[in-house]
């Protein structure tokens, strides 16, 4: 038994060494990608318009008995949407908001807000989803009110100095990121 244990030792060590080598290789690979992903996610975040509102609508739906609902944004430059700023394809468990990149970002934001209004009225008041062919003036008017109200609330939030300070991530000031 002793002999066979001794004999098997080198190959076990070899196996451990190989595993360690592999672990180091993976650690380097993941480390490099962690930087790359952080950069990509940070850069993309600037163009993720209305991200908090989208997240909030998802949460509101879930907390009010409508289940999990996936909301995605599909940017397009095709111009097919013109003169619309955005258009929502609302399905039972997911909504895709097609965003017109050929209009100003501010109009894109407001368009997304308007479509989120459509989603809420579809879910809570069984209103017809928006359609490129016909317009229901009552729902349209309600979505316009929702859009203006939500954007106004954001505007007021960002126009107050105290709120801007909240956005400065005090956690980073109190716990600075090591160089």
* Positions that interact with Zn ion (CB under 5 A): 130, 140, 143
Among residues 33 and 80, whose Cβ is nearest to Zn ion? 80
Residue nearest to Zn ion (CB): 143
Nearer to Zn ion, 69 or 110 (CB): 110
Dig out the tokens for 112 from the structure. Answer: 């997304």
CA distance 127 to 118: 8
Give least dist CB 67 to Zn ion, A. Answer: 23
Any residues with CB less than 8 A from the CB of 51 and at least 6 apart, and which? 45
- Report, in Å, the least distance between residue 175 CB and Zn ion: 44
Alpha-carbon distance of 16 to 9, in angstroms, equals: 10
- Neighbouring CB atoms inside 10 A of 103's CB total 17
155: Cα within 13 Å, side-chain hemisphere: 9
CB of 61 or CB of 117, closer to Zn ion: 117
CA dihedral 98, 100, 101, 107 (to 10 degrees): -110
- Least gap, CB of 115 to Zn ion (angstroms): 7
Q: How far is the CB of 143 from Zn ion (least distance, A)?
A: 5
- Do 115 and 92 contact (CB within 8 A), yes or no? no
CB of 81 to Zn ion, least distance (A): 12
């Amino acid at each position: 038994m002793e002999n066979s244990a001794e004999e098997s030792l080198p190959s076990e060590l070899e196996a451990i060494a190989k595993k360690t080598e592999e672990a180091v290789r993976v650690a380097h690979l993941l480390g490099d990608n962690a930087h790359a992903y952080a950069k990509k996610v940070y850069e993309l975040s600037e163009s993720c318009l209305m991200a908090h509102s989208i997240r909030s609508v998802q949460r509101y739906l879930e907390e009010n008995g409508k289940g999990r609902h996936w909301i995605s944004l599909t940017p397009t430059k095709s111009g097919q949407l013109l003169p619309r700023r955005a258009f929502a394809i609302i399905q039972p468990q997911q909504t895709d908001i097609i965003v017109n990149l050929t209009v100003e970002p501010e109009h894109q934001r407001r368009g997304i807000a308007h479509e989120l209004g459509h989603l809420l009225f579809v879910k809570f008041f069984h209103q017809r989803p928006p359609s490129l062919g016909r317009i229901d003036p009552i729902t349209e008017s309600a979505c316009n009110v929702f859009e203006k109200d939500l954007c106004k609330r954001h505007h007021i939030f960002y126009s107050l100095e105290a709120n801007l300070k909240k956005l400065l991530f005090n956690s980073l000031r109190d716990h600075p990121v090591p160089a």
